[in-house]
Amino acid sequence: MVYETIAFVLFALVTVGCSLGVVLVRDVWHSALLLGGALLSVAVHYVMLQAEFLAAMQVLVYVGGVLILITFAVMLTKSTAESEVSGA
């Protein structure tokens, strides 16, 4: 029981820390990486609640899907913004 409480507190701190980092970090790429950390730690909370299906969906849909979309958006907008600045 003590180990479960320690694990819960540890991952709760990771979730809160990463969530604060998403909001406070100025770089979009680092914010996306912190969002991935927060979503993965929420998946760990689901596993601790013995909801493995929800944890798998959390990882597949949110971490896999949303973070890939953010990554592509960052890559596409950065190259467009840099080419507009250098072309002007």
* pLDDT tens digits, 39-58: 999 999 999 999 999 999 99
- What b/e sequence results for 48-77 when a residue is b if at least 16 CB atoms lie within 10 Å of its CB, and e otherwise? eeeeeeebeebbeebbeeebeebeeeeeee
Q: Which two tokens stand for residue 29?
A: 């790429």
- Give the C-alpha separation, 33 to 41, whole Å: 13
Residue 32's closest CA among 54, 62, 11, 58?
62
- Can you tell me the mean pLDDT for 62-75? 87
Note the pLDDT tens digit of each residue in 6-44: 999 999 999 999 999 999 999 888 999 999 999 999 999
